[in-house]
């Protein structure tokens, strides 16, 4: 096989050029048809809830409508009362007391154990069991042996801020944000006999009695069985999902998605899910955290060598006002395993994580975070993290100047190729005045395992942005051959209070190489950007000018053309009326037809947020291959073409080799030239290049000017002179016209 590294310069000059300016947002391609996205969901009624066992022995269980924690002190039930609940409203079931015929039975203080689909406390005189259901907990008390057949009285202490009142056959726990119910208890023996029991609220707990007459005839074991489940006062209680993010593993062909559920105003949970190459869910939801600690702002990146992803989040523990940064690994795809939570930094927040594509097995992640030095001085630090969840070395000073640096955004990866030139880009804001700031960029590369800060670069005076919730992002670098360029995108104040979009291409040392500011057709909201090694994809919210309500979200493909960035594709996310929020994407650097995985949050109906996802190809719609009948001669020249005709891609040509001749290819711009000395023969190219031999791979350069250009390929056959062949010994094949997308 012959490799043609670059198409000849003559072809570059002859191809139609893409729009050089691309300054006007309206000049971008029209949006292609939206493609519906898939989504994950938490377990509901009839399904097994999620289970998370912590290092200290605590067991957490979670589902759509509740979560519950189990430790030596007992069980804690926390109903989900809508994301706008002012705080959590738990009820702790503690202080058990059991009597048999008025005599106290042993009730040991023991740690919980996970037994099948239940959590059990083996308390000696009885077994306290919580059967785990998707819609609640089935609390049961079991007696496998009895020293006598007499009345059983179980007293359950309850600690709660709810108001507890009789309701139906049970009791209702009510608070300002909603309610949950503690159902009527039932006695059930081993033979299936049942008896509805009286459950009395004492003001400090429940007292449940089993009459001596039922106990006397019961077949052991005997169980007492109340049900704890959630109801709502408010039919439209919102279930809000926020801050989705995605990591992609090209070698495994899978992605890992994380997101945040707002459980209440003081408590957010983080979950992950695995998707396949078509961005369809694989398996169920996995837990990063659904304790009553507040985990928020999750971010994720992958390590391809380890087939792993790392999720980081800002965490505020229960009872604390100071935030810290924690992480958990997610390893594997067929049977993913979530590692134990570990501490990355104290007194810190706003973390982001950069992953590793194709460097070395020992290459760690890089986590960037904002360190709270004082009320007026925040700094940007980094921390390398190994794939086993340990920290690699100490903290790294990114920007520790005596100012207020905040909200670092790190590139999804440090790029492909050699470790000596790979680098993560870190974009953050430095406040320059009371109401404005400047976006700055730093670089970090794993050179022999040591720090390599190439210096910080201010991203142009036009990057001045007001404080608040404006966002920015930085892409993974382009391939090593292109000089490790990063694209920085940001919201930018326009006229009055309107928001524009600005994106700037930076070299590996921070020099601005191309810049574009949108001419708004609407306001721009939160955004994200990544690179497939050649071009860039930018996803962003569209906002209504007057109300800032999302109008949907779009993704565009960008390539450098001269001193500007050219918009070469535009796709609108599906269901634009669903209030798309916070789109995030990750590049898939492979030879497949789709190059990005995209996730976002949307609201398909009142109170029903979901995280959706889809693929994005990054290339224009339209025909790629056309064939013209230009063959002549006997035997005719024939061949095949393997296509990936995108920037950074390739075109593989394969002509059929006869036993008594030579074959090759004519390459050039499309032509239709009749050969007067060979009737019926047509030359389909203008013969800019002749390739001898049957197989050739033509690399398509990462040059934005190629997009939209068409090349022609025609096979030829040279044999010994024979009748019917052009010039006595040449036959031609049909011509393939290939358009670069």
Measured in degrees and rounded to the nearest 5, phi and psi for residue 216 equal -60, -35
For position 387, what pLDDT does the model report?
93
Does the pLDDT of residue 499 top 60, yes or no?
yes
For position 362, what pLDDT does the model report?
58
Residues linked to residue 60 through DSSP beta bridges, in sequence order: 52, 69
77 touches 91 (CB < 8 A): yes
CA 214 and chain centroid, separation: 56
State the chain's mean pLDDT as an integer. 84
Does the pLDDT of residue 521 top 80, yes or no?
no
611 touches 40 (CB < 8 A): yes
Query: Considering the chain, what percentage of its residues have pLDDT values greater than 70?
Result: 84
What's the pLDDT tens digit per position in 138-152? Answer: 889 999 999 999 999
What pTM does this model have?
A: 0.87
- Dump the DSSP string for 19-78: PS---SGGGSPPPBPP---EE-----TTSPPEEEE-TTS-EEEE-SSEEEEEETTEEEEE
What average pLDDT score do residues 661-670 get?
A: 89
Contacts (Cβ under 8 Å, ≥6 apart) of 243: 259, 260, 296, 297, 298, 299, 582, 601
Using alpha carbons only, what angle is made at residue 519 by residues 513 and 522, rounded to the nearest 5 degrees?
130
Judged on CB neighbours under 10 Å (0-12, 13-18, 19+), 196 is exposed
**Residue from 172, 154, 151, 167 nearest 91 by CA:** 172
Residue with tokens 């689909």: 117
What average pLDDT score do residues 13-29 get?
A: 43
For position 367, what pLDDT does the model report?
97
Where does the pLDDT of residue 114 fall: very low under 50, low under 70, confident under 90, or very high at 90 and above? Answer: very high
Asked if the peptide bond before residue 5 counts as cis, ω within 30 degrees of 0, the response is: no
List the single range of 460-474, 502-516, 629-643, 695-709 with lowest mean pLDDT.
460-474
Q: Report which listed range, 439-453, 457-471, 604-618, is most confident.
A: 604-618
Cα Rg of the chain (Å, integer):
32
Where does the pLDDT of residue 248 fall: very low under 50, low under 70, confident under 90, or very high at 90 and above? Answer: very high
How far is residue 598's CA from residue 567's CA, in Å, rounded to a whole number?
Answer: 18
For position 17, what pLDDT does the model report?
45
Using alpha carbons only, what angle is made at residue 55 by residues 133 and 347, rounded to the nearest 5 degrees?
110
Contacts (Cβ under 8 Å, ≥6 apart) of 272: 256, 257, 258, 285, 286, 287, 288, 300, 309, 311, 330, 336, 338
For position 450, what pLDDT does the model report?
37
| Cα-based distances in Å from 592 to 116, 354, 613, 683 | 42, 23, 18, 33
Query: Considering the chain, what percentage of its residues have pLDDT values greater than 90?
Result: 44
What average pLDDT score do residues 600-616 get?
A: 81
How far is residue 361's CA from residue 477's CA, in Å, rounded to a whole number?
Answer: 20
Contacts (Cβ under 8 Å, ≥6 apart) of 13: none
Where does the pLDDT of residue 487 fall: very low under 50, low under 70, confident under 90, or very high at 90 and above? Answer: very high
Does the pLDDT of residue 627 top 80, yes or no?
yes
What's the pLDDT tens digit per position in 453-485? Answer: 444 555 543 344 455 567 899 999 998 888 889
As a CATH number, domain 239-616 is: 2.120.10.70
Does the pLDDT of residue 553 top 80, yes or no?
yes
Of residues 187 and 446, the one with the higher pLDDT is 187
Judged on CB neighbours under 10 Å (0-12, 13-18, 19+), 53 is middle
Where does the pLDDT of residue 488 fall: very low under 50, low under 70, confident under 90, or very high at 90 and above? Answer: very high
Does the pLDDT of residue 531 top 50, yes or no?
yes
For position 656, what pLDDT does the model report?
84
What average pLDDT score do residues 670-679 get?
A: 83
Measured in degrees and rounded to the nearest 5, phi and psi for residue 152 equal -105, 130
How far is residue 739's CA from residue 708's CA, in Å, rounded to a whole number?
Answer: 6
Q: What is the DSSP letter of 658?
A: P
What's the pLDDT tens digit per position in 312-369? Answer: 999 999 989 999 999 999 999 989 999 999 999 999 999 999 998 865 555 799 999 9
For position 458, what pLDDT does the model report?
53
Going through 277-389 in order, the beta strands assigned E by DSSP cover: 281-289, 294-303, 308-316, 324-331, 337-338, 342-345, 348-354, 365-374, 377-385
For position 548, what pLDDT does the model report?
67
Q: Report which listed range, 42-56, 372-386, 547-561, 617-631, is most confident.
A: 372-386
What's the pLDDT tens digit per position in 587-606? Answer: 987 655 668 999 998 877 66
566 touches 20 (CB < 8 A): yes
Reading phi first (left if > 0) and then psi (alpha if -120 to 50, else beta), residue 169 is in alpha
List the single range of 155-164, 608-617, 708-717 with lowest mean pLDDT.
608-617
Q: What is the DSSP letter of 216?
A: H
Of residues 687 and 547, the one with the higher pLDDT is 687
**For the chain, where do the domains classified as CATH 2.120.10.70 start and end?**
239-616
152 touches 100 (CB < 8 A): yes
For position 468, what pLDDT does the model report?
58
What's the pLDDT tens digit per position in 86-97? Answer: 999 999 998 789
For position 618, what pLDDT does the model report?
83
CA 454 and chain centroid, separation: 29
What average pLDDT score do residues 535-554 get?
A: 84
List the single range of 324-333, 365-374, 645-654 with lowest mean pLDDT.
645-654
Helix (H, G, I), strand (E, B) or coil at 269: strand
Does the pLDDT of residue 214 top 70, yes or no?
yes
For position 235, what pLDDT does the model report?
37
Of residues 85 and 522, the one with the higher pLDDT is 85
In this structure, what token pair is assigned to residue 43?
């377990």
Where does the pLDDT of residue 227 fall: very low under 50, low under 70, confident under 90, or very high at 90 and above? Answer: confident
Where does the pLDDT of residue 35 fall: very low under 50, low under 70, confident under 90, or very high at 90 and above? Answer: very low
How far is residue 521's CA from residue 551's CA, in Å, rounded to a whole number?
Answer: 12
Where does the pLDDT of residue 661 fall: very low under 50, low under 70, confident under 90, or very high at 90 and above? Answer: confident
Helix ranges restricted to H, 164-277: 212-217
Does the pLDDT of residue 448 top 60, yes or no?
no
């Amino acid at each position: 096989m012959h490799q043609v590294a670059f198409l000849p310069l003559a072809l570059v000059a002859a191809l139609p050029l893409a729009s050089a300016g691309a300054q006007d947002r309206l000049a971008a391609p029209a949006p292609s048809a939206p493609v519906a996205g898939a989504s994950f969901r938490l377990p509901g009624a009839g399904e097994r809830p999620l289970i998370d066992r912590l290092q200290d022995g605590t067991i957490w269980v979670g589902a759509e409508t509740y979560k519950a924690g189990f430790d030596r002190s007992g069980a804690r039930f926390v109903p989900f009362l809508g994301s706008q609940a002012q705080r959590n409203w738990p009820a702790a079931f503690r202080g058990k007391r059991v009597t048999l015929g008025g005599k106290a039975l042993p009730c040991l203080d023991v740690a919980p154990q996970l037994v099948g689909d239940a959590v059990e406390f083996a308390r000696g005189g009885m077994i306290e069991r919580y059967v785990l259901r998707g819609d609640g907990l089935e609390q049961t008390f079991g007696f496998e042996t009895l020293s006598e057949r007499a009345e059983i009285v179980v007293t359950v202490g309850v600690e709660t801020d709810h108001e507890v009142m009789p309701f139906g056959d049970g009791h209702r726990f009510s608070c300002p944000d909603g309610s949950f119910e503690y159902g009527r208890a039932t006695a059930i023996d081993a033979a299936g006999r049942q008896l509805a029991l009286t459950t009395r609220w004492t003001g400090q707990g429940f007292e449940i009695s089993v009459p001596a007459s039922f106990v006397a005839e019961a077949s052991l074991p005997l169980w007492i069985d109340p049900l704890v489940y959630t109801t709502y006062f408010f039919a439209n209680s919102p279930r809000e999902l926020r801050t989705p993010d995605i990591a992609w593993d090209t070698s495994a062909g899978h992605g890992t998605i994380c997101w945040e559920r707002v459980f209440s105003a003081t408590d957010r949970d983080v979950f992950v899910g695995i998707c396949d190459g078509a961005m369809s869910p694989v398996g169920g939801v996995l837990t990063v955290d659904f304790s009553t600690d507040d985990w928020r702002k999750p971010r994720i990146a992958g390590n391809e060598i380890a087939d792993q992803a790392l999720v980081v989040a800002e965490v505020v523990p229960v009872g604390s006002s100071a935030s810290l940064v924690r992480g958990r690994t997610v390893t594997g795809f067929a049977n993913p395993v979530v590692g134990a939570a570990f501490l990355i930094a104290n007194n810190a927040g706003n973390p982001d994580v950069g992953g590793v594509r194709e460097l070395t097995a020992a290459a760690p992640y890089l986590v960037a975070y904002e360190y709270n030095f004082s009320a007026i001085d925040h700094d940007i630090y980094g921390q390398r993290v190994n794939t086993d969840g340990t920290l690699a070395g100490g903290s790294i000073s990114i920007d520790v100047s005596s100012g207020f640096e905040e909200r670092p955004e790190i590139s999804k990866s440090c790029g492909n190729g050699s470790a000596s030139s790979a680098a993560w880009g870190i974009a953050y804001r430095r406040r320059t005045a009371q109401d404005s700031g400047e976006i700055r960029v730093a670089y970090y590369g794993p050179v022999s395992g040591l720090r390599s800060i190439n210096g910080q670069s201010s991203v142009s005076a036009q990057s001045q942005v007001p404080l608040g919730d404006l966002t920015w992002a930085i892409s993974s670098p382009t391939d090593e051959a292109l000089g490790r360029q990063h694209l920085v995108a940001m919201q930018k104040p326009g006229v009055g209070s309107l928001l524009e979009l600005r994106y700037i291409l930076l070299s590996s040392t921070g020099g601005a190489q191309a810049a574009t500011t949108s001419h708004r057709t609407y306001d721009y909201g939160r955004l994200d950007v990544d690179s497939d090694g050649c071009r860039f994809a930018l996803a962003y919210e569209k906002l209504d000018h007057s109300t800032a309500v999302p109008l949907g979200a779009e993704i565009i493909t960008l390539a450098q053309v001269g001193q500007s960035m050219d918009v070469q594709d535009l796709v609108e996310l599906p269901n634009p009326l669903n209030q798309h929020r916070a789109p995030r994407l990750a590049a898939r650097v492979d030879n497949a037809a789709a190059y990005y995985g995209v996730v976002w949050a949307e609201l398909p109906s009142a109170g029903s947020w979901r995280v959706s996802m889809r693929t994005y190809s990054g290339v224009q719609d339209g025909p790629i291959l056309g064939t013209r009948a230009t063959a002549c001669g006997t035997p005719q020249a024939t061949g095949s073409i393997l296509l990936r005709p995108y920037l950074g891609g390739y075109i593989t040509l394969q002509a059929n080799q006869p036993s008594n001749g030579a074959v090759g290819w004519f390459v050039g711009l499309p032509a239709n030239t009749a050969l007067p000395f060979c009737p019926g023969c047509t030359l389909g190219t203008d013969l800019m290049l002749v390739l001898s031999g049957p197989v050739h791979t033509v690399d398509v350069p990462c040059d934005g000017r190629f997009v939209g250009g068409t090349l022609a390929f025609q096979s030829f056959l040279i044999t010994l002179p024979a009748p019917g062949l052009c010039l006595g010994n040449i036959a031609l094949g049909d011509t393939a016209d290939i358009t670069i997308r």
